[in-house]
Each structure stands twice: as structure tokens, then as C-alpha cells.
């Protein structure tokens, strides 16, 4: 875990995954890389160690669905930590916060808000899919 935590901070990327496929460095914003890996290359995440700068409920759901082995987060929301613990995924972190804030620092992260009231990773996944589709449609 120390190796990928160092990569996370030295390269200032969003997330680093270490699994049977080697080390994958993620640079997209939010959960986009985790979503892409889970939907297109789930074997990269299965049994992997993950070091992530910010873990909200959506990212935690993807990690749980993918079957990651262990998670480190610089910042993690309480709902994300709860979800990972319920999934039996050992999770260490620097700071726990009640929720993830949005990029403009004016309120809650929109994906964290979209996950409100949803309790299982299986329930959360369609909300993530919808969120990613809307985000990509906006930037197209």
C-alpha cells in the first residue's frame, strides 16, 4: 500500500490501483476512471489495493462491486466508509468527513447527493451510470 500511496502523492493523480495487472494510475476527475475500469476491465480492480485522494459513496460502491481487497483514502466520506466496512473491505484514511464537497466548494458533491437514500452498491450503480452519462454528455 505504501508504494501506491507514494505514487498517488508524487504524481498528483486521482487514484492508483495495484492488482494482478500491475499498477494503474488514474487521472480523470471523480469516479470516471473507477467506473471505466469496472465496466470495461473489472479484472484490474478485483482483489486490488487502491489508494485514492477522495472517496465518496459512489467510488466506494464501485470498489465494493469490483471486489477490491483494501483501500487507502486521503479523504473519505462517512457514507463511503460505512459502505466499505459493510462490504468487508479494510479501509484506512487520513481524514473522514460527513460528505464530499463539490469542486466549487459551494455544496455537496453531486454524485454523493445522487447516492442519498441508496444503501447497497447494487442500488448505487445505476445512479453512477446515469451521473457519468450526464457528465460525459455535457463535456461532449
pLDDT band of residue 138 (cuts 50, 70, 90) is confident
Per-residue model confidence (pLDDT) at position 99: 95
User: What DSSP character marks residue 21?
Assistant: T
Q: Give per-residue pLDDT as tens, 5-26.
A: 999 999 999 999 999 989 999 9
**DSSP letter string over 54-110?**
EE-HHHHHHHHHHT-SEEEEEEEEHHHHHHHHHTT--EEEEEEESSPBPTTSSSB-H
> Per residue in 80-132, pLDDT tens?
999 999 999 999 999 999 999 998 999 999 999 999 999 999 999 999 999 99
- Please name which of 49, 31, 3, 26 lies closest in space to residue 135, comparing C-alpha atoms: 31
| Whole-number Å distance between alpha carbons of 105 and 16 | 24
Q: What is the CATH number of domain 2-139?
A: 3.40.140.30
Residue 66's pLDDT is 97
- For residues 19 and 49, the answer to whether their CB atoms sit within 8 Å is yes
Taking only the tens place, the pLDDT of each residue in 22-77 is 999 999 989 999 999 999 999 999 999 999 999 999 999 999 999 999 999 999 99
* Every domain of the chain and the residues it spans: 2-139
Tell me the whole-structure pTM to 2 decimals.
0.96
C-alpha cell at position 126 = 445505476
Contact 85, 64 (CB under 8 A): no
Amino acid at each position: 500500500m505504501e508504494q501506491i500511496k507514494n505514487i498517488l502523492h508524487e504524481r498528483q493523480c486521482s487514484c492508483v490501483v495495484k492488482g494482478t495487472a500491475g499498477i494503474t494510475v488514474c487521472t480523470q476527475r471523480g469516479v470516471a476512471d473507477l467506473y471505466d475500469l469496472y465496466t470495461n476491465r473489472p479484472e484490474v480492480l478485483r482483489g486490488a489495493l487502491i489508494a485514492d485522494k477522495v472517496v465518496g459513496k459512489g467510488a466506494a460502491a464501485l470498489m465494493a462491486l469490483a471486489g477490491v481487497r483494501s483501500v487507502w483514502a486521503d479523504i473519505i466520506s462517512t457514507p463511503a466508509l460505512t459502505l466499505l466496512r459493510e462490504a468487508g473491505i479494510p479501509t484506512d484514511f487520513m481524514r473522514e468527513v460527513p460528505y464530499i464537497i463539490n469542486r466549487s466548494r459551494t455544496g455537496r458533491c453531486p454524485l454523493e447527493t445522487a447516492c442519498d437514500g441508496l444503501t447497497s452498491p447494487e442500488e448505487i450503480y445505476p445512479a453512477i451510470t446515469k451521473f457519468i452519462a450526464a457528465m460525459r454528455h455535457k463535456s461532449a
